[in-house]
Structure 1
Amino acid sequence: MKNRAFTGTAASGRPLVVGHRGNSGTSPENTTVAFARARASGADMIETDVRLTADGELFLFHDGTGARTTNIAQVYPDRADDPITSFTAAELRRLDAGGYFGEEFKGEPIVFLNELPDAVGSGLGVNLELKAPADSPGVEQAVAAALAGPEWTQLREHHPVTVSSFDPAAVRTFAGISPQVPAWQLVEEVPDAELLAEGAGYAQGIVASHVSLTPDSAAAVRAAGLGLWVYTVNSPADMDAVLALGVDAVITDFPDTLIARLASGPEASR
């Protein structure tokens, strides 16, 4: 049974502002500095990606390899293109996950899930995307166990903590293990009414690409009794378009820009 207590919107009734991989438009994604900047911007939540290391630790990382966002080619030149999940936690802790973005961020480490409550402090909710669950067998159970810990329980008392995935089986599995934590289904396109009805049995809502979302598909999500979040919305025009659809949350690389749109309304751009 899904958790109906969390509506998926801010207490004020406006959509939640969710920093994509932190404040990744201005800082290296999925790092403590990105999370701190999201908090400073006034975001309600951050979205981040979670995987399992080869020795079973949960870490925050988007890509399937470390080539784009770390110095893995220098540290492990013979393994630069290996799956990031083939590395142990100790090996990942040797990597620089900030220097690719700019010299000022050099030395930012990969963040592990047990470090995230301290990284977000008391001011942010968290959406954890189970990234490529097939590459991290057992990640649903590991995340559920982690979120049952005292630091996460305390965070959940004051801020939304949710889990999402593009993999319906992973969402269903997690929801069955941890029904007290809202689970959301990520999609590129809103599915048909039959699949929406099926998803309503275990998911709190749909997290859809803003590129494919239409008034009709947004209405279909609502008709199924599901919440509606949207990703990854970066331009002011796209922000105005999804806000007009009445979504519950907007995931963006630029939370400060979205907050300004919410404060001023689309009239400010005219």
Structure 2
Amino acid sequence: MHARAVAASTTALLGTAALLFPVSPARAAGGGVPLVIAHRGASAYAPENTLAAVDKAAGLGIRWVENDVQRTRDGELVVVHDDNLRRTTDVEEVYPGRAPWKVKDFTAAEIARLDAGSWFGPAYAGARVPTLEQFVNRVERHHQKLLLEIKNPELYPGIERQTLKVLGNEGWLDRSHLAGRLIVQSFSADSVRTVHELKPAVKTGVLGTPPMGDLPVYAGFADQINPSYRSLSRAYVSAVQAFTGPHGRPLEVLTWTVDDAATAQRVAGYGVDGIITNKPDVVREAVGG
């Protein structure tokens, strides 16, 4: 399709969406200060997805923390980003004969032996890969809020139900948490849809940049569309926010991963609802949060 045709179809879609789902003047103008979310904790300053990264975010006064959830061989949910343990632990030294060191091939007890901090710096030697229970309890201790990503759900059948069970057991599915302290997201739209079907009250987000023509479908089960800042435009943000989500509110946009002031100010100007960042202090100062 030629650029002129793309521009014309985009303009038409935005116009139609605005008629069906009016955008508030503040959102249309990019008004308001976006949320600042600490990516894997304050991961520029402490090892990602560890309790130390949660503590660092709290020390910086950051209210929202993002994490990644996967499952061990014996069914424990742990907080780690990659589907293998090589990058952020000493697994190759502790278990040298067990390549490729996939999370799903190790028990929770085996993973608990690993050092998840030394790779980042000697000050964090001995940090561990936390279980989901440990992680949410640390977030709760700091009275923070949680953006939880279900990672690689295709590797872990049933992880959506299990994640909700852990959250419920730890008190995160009560009215106060559901009202504004919890969002569950994934790159898998099917996984997000499953979470919505299992627990409709949970706020959900789809990671990525779905085509604008697919947004009406996503609005049936997702409250947010959360794209990389590299794929973001003012028109796309407006298109997303023009639709009403499953809880009767305009869809939101959280963008990732923004670590410099200039980019933070640019995406804030697009009207995004939140910015996910490894350097939450830098972004907060840039956007006036």
CA shift digits 1:126-177 (9 cap, x unpaired): 0110100011111101011112225324671675211000011101011100
Match of 2:221 among 202, 206, 215: 202
Percent identity, aligned pairs only, is: 36
Which ranges of structure 2 fall in alignment gaps of 5 or more residues? Answer: 1-26, 245-250
Given residue 33 of structure 1, which amino acid in structure 2 is its aligned partner? A
> Are 1:66 and 1:80, in contact at CA under 8 Å, matched by a contact in 2?
no
Secondary structure (helix, strand or coil) at the match of 2:196 reads helix
What are the within-5 Å matches in structure 2 for residues 91-110 of structure 1? 91-110=110-129
Given residue 98 of structure 1, which amino acid in structure 2 is its aligned partner? G
What are the within-5 Å matches in structure 2 for residues 1-270 of structure 1? 14-120=33-139, 121-153=141-173, 156=177, 159-187=180-208, 190-225=209-244, 226-263=251-288
Q: Aligned pair in 2 of structure 1 residues 158, 37: CA closer, same or farther (>3 Å)? A: farther
Between 55-64 and 116-125, the greater mean CA deviation after superposition: 116-125
Between 74-83 and 54-63, the greater mean CA deviation after superposition: 74-83
> Are 1:65 and 1:80, in contact at CA under 8 Å, matched by a contact in 2?
no
Which ranges of structure 1 fall in alignment gaps of 5 or more residues? Answer: 1-8, 265-270
Instruction: State the distance in 2 between where 1:98 and 1:238 align.
Output: 29
Instruction: State the distance in 1 between where 2:252 and 2:107 align.
Output: 37
- CA displacement at 1:82 relative to structure 2: 2.8
Instruction: State the distance in 2 between where 1:129 and 1:117 align.
Output: 13
Q: Considering only aligned residues, what root-mean-square deviation do their CA atoms show, in Å? A: 1.9
- Normalised by the size of structure 2, how large is the TM-score? 0.83
Instruction: State the distance in 2 between where 1:253 and 1:134 align.
Output: 26
Between 170-179 and 118-127, the greater mean CA deviation after superposition: 118-127
Secondary structure (helix, strand or coil) at the match of 2:253 reads strand
- Normalised by the size of structure 1, how large is the TM-score? 0.89
How many residue pairs were aligned? 252
Runs of 4+ in 1 over 3 A off after TM superposition: none
Given residue 125 of structure 1, which amino acid in structure 2 is its aligned partner? K
Between 205-214 and 75-84, the greater mean CA deviation after superposition: 75-84
Larger Rg: 2
Given residue 54 of structure 2, which amino acid in structure 1 is its aligned partner? F
